[in-house]
Every structure is written in C-alpha cells, then in structure tokens.
Amino acid sequence: MEKELVRTGVSIRADLVGRFDETIFERGFASRSEGVRDALRHYINYYEWMTEVEGEHVGALTLIYDREITGVAGSIANVQQRYSAIIKSSIRIPLDSDNYLEVIILRGDGEEMRALTGHIMSLRGVKHVKLNVTPLNRIHEGKR
C-alpha cells in the first residue's frame, strides 16, 4: 500500500538551506525532499527515545547559545535553578564573540533530565541542545 505524500512549505534562512543542501549532496540523497524526510525521521526517533528515559541516569546536556540575545543567559540560569537537584556541575566557555558552549553534568531521574532538556530547547537564543544519558543500572551491570 502506497502512503500518501503531503506537500508543505517551510520558511528557512538561506544559509541554513545552503548547509542542508551541501549535507544532503554529501550523503547522496537524490533530492531535498529525501533529506527532509530523513531529518524528520531522525528528529522523531530522537524525541521518542527521549520520552523513554526512565529511572536514574547520568548524563551530559550540551548547549550552544547566542549570548547577544537579551536575557538568554539569565533564562538558562533560571531553568537550571529549577533542576538543581539533578545538576552536579556545569561549565561554560566562549566559542567566539557571539556564542557560548555550556555542558551540564547530570545525575538523577531520566524524566527530569528530559524535562530540563525540553525547557532549555524552548528558550529564545538557544541554537543547539543535545542530551546524552546512560542508565545507572547499565553501569552497575557492567561490573565484573
């Protein structure tokens, strides 16, 4: 059974489309549509994986944000304050004159980590967010 295709329009900055086009060319996609479908599948898989994060975990949340956006650093600090029980450490370094990289080390409930990640992702000025976690039970299972 053939699945119905839906046409949609999206407004994207020209520089981002250019980078996307270069990437899909390097990956061998026949069209931009194939690349968009692949990106959507990847995003959905990542989100579904994030929703299954349960139990105690350790992890690192990395983010890049534009320090020139008014209030972004304060907003990030406010979110971190709300999740201080699972934040063990963090470091922030300037990448260039406009951007900071922040790495937040986490230990605690996976659902709280997912919620923290979602709050950070929603902030204006945050350009990139990635959560990497490991369940603690896997670490303990690996002991010999």
**pLDDT for the residue 10:** 87
Give 31's contacts (C-beta < 8 A, 6+ positions apart).
24
Host domain of residue 103? 55-141
Flag whether the pTM goes above 0.75: no
111 in a domain, yes or no? yes
1 in a domain, yes or no? no
3-class DSSP string for the chain = CCCCCCCCCCCCCHHHHHHHHHHHHHHCCCCHHHHHHHHHHHHHHHHHHHHCCCCEEEEEEEEEEECCCCCHHHHHHHHHHHCCCCEEEEEEEECCCCEEEEEEEEEEEHHHHHHHHHHHHCCCCEEEEEEEEEEHHHHHHCCC
The answer on pLDDT for 144 being more than 50 is: no
Q: How confident is the model at residue 44 (pLDDT cuts 50, 70, 90)?
A: confident
41 and 89 inside one domain: no
Angle among Cα 90, 75, 116 to the nearest 5 degrees reads 60
Q: Which residue has the higher pLDDT, 128 or 39?
A: 128
Domain termination residue (choose one: 24, 50, 76): 50
The answer on pLDDT for 46 being more than 90 is: no
79 and 116 inside one domain: yes
Overall size of the chain counted in residues: 144
Residues 100-121: tens digit of each pLDDT: 999 999 999 988 998 999 999 9
Residues 62-97: tens digit of each pLDDT: 999 999 999 999 999 999 999 999 999 999 999 999
77 and 114 inside one domain: yes
Domain count, the chain: 2
The answer on pLDDT for 36 being more than 60 is: yes
